[in-house]
Amino acid sequence: MDRQQLIEQDKISYQNERGKKAVVSYPPRWMTLGISGNCTNRCLFCSYHSEDARNGKSNVYNLVYKMSLQHAKEYIDLCYKGRIPHVHICGSGEPFLNKDIMPMVDYMIERYGKASFQSNFNESIMKRGDYIEQIIERKKDIAYIVTDMHTGDESSFHQIKKGSSLTYVLSVLKLFSKHGITLHGPCILTRSNYKEIPKIIELLIANEIQMDLLITGIYPHMFNDFTSMENVYQSSDTMITDMLNKVVQLGKRFGITVTIPQPFDSPAQHCDVFWDKIQVWPTVGVPKERYHENLIPHACNAVVLGEMASLGYLSDYESVMDFWNNDIIVNIRKKILAGKYPDSFCWSCPHARNLKP
């Protein structure tokens, strides 16, 4: 079979094996390359750089590193050869602090035909590197761009997204939207910011920004009031549920796609990440020289607070399937299939509600 036929077969295998088999026959559906650990922000919810995550509370706090262009190319090649459908450029900090980000984006475009990436859009960084102009030059080759939109209120935006300017971010998004670049806006939902979420739609409409709004429940890292268990959206929060439904309808009126989360205590949620995606990310406990090749599921509490510091290292495996079915990941899948927590901190994850210690 040729590559495209194998990719189509992978889709079928994924549907048949997801959440059912410990050893799977398809590659991850998603890989995130973390290319920079530095950041200009101190976002309230962040397990990497928030002021409240320091002093040993977080296993990923302030781990400074930059991925080299050569390593990025090697990993993109590995993913392409291994039929991973999508590779996303991100960072445990601000990816545009890595001076090689645009060559990385270009190489992603060369291999995959499209590229996606994430940014806080810090004004000084964007202007220093002429990055906005460079992005627009590549607009036909950008799959989408991700930037956080956790509130539509300027005051609370600056409290949550410490280091970002809502005014500048909106100006950048308006320009990108004018050029037809697809935009995704993750929005963390909590009991403390839900009233301000409808204002995001109003801001997008007022600034003629076409952006998909991806509302997600917060991972309660428990560093502060914002990331506390008391701040998560529960099924008893009917006012939040009503707000979410209204935002979805408002978005439809203006062609804005809004996705909404299940409540934290919803029995419908399941831990599927070990069948879906993987990230290259630094964590405490792995050698600094291996930060750029360390594999984790994502920044869930099993990683941030627990013992899931590493699922292996990329260079130890010849192929995608070798690391995707390595002993660590297979044993985690086996635990989940047996209805058990893969990590003691899974109790604080909404997606592990169907599992037990």
Q: What is the CATH number of the domain that holds 189?
A: 3.30.750.200
Among residues 239, 269, 299, the one where a domain terminates is: 269
By C-alpha distance, which of 6, 72, 45 is closest to 221?
45
For residues 48 and 40, give the distance between their C-alpha atoms in angstroms, rounded to a whole number: 12
> Do both 294 and 328 map to the same domain?
yes
Residue-level pLDDT at 353 = 87
* Final residue of a structural domain among 223, 242, 269: 269
Closest of 300, 231, 220, 233 to residue 260, by C-alpha: 233
What pLDDT is stored for residue 30 in this prediction? 96
Q: Are residues 208 and 352 in the same domain?
A: no
One domain, residues 74 and 2? yes
Q: Residue 1's pLDDT is what?
A: 77
Q: Which two tokens stand for residue 310?
A: 């590493």
Distances (CA, A) of 353 to 83, 158, 259, 272: 32, 33, 21, 12
Shared-domain flag, residues 288 and 238 = no
Inter-residue contact 86 to 137 (CB < 8 Å) = no
3 state DSSP class of 352: helix
Are 158 and 121 in the same domain?
no
Rounded to 10 degrees, what is the CA torsion of 150, 153, 159, 162? 60
Shared domain check, 181 and 46: no
Query: In this structure, what token pair is assigned to residue 262?
Result: 């299940």
Residues 129 and 36 in one domain: yes
Kindly state whether residues 115 and 84 are assigned to the same domain. yes
Q: Are residues 110 and 5 in the same domain?
A: yes
Task: Give the chain's radius of gyration (CA, Å).
Answer: 20
Chunked into runs of 10 residues, the chain (357 residues) has average pLDDT values of 92 97 98 97 96 95 96 98 97 96 98 98 96 98 97 92 95 98 97 95 95 96 97 98 97 95 93 96 95 95 95 96 98 97 95 92
Q: What DSSP designation does 331 have? A: H
Q: Are residues 10 and 73 in the same domain?
A: yes
> For position 138, which CATH number holds?
3.20.20
For residue 290, what are its two tokens? 């291996």
Supply φ then ψ for residue 281, to 5 degrees: -155, 140
Q: Tell me if 132 sits within 8 A of 126, measured CB to CB.
A: yes
Task: Count how many domains the chain has.
Answer: 2
Closest CA to 32 of 303, 269, 244, 357: 303
Look at the chain and count its residues: 357
| 14 & 64 share domain | yes
Residue 300, domain extent: 1-143+270-357
In the listed set 251, 269, 287, which residue is the last one of a domain according to the structure?
A: 269
Same domain, 38 and 111: yes
Burial of 128 (0-12, 13-18, 19+ CB in 10 A): exposed
pTM metric for this prediction: 0.96
260 exposure class (CB count in 10 Å sphere: 0-12, 13-18, 19+): buried
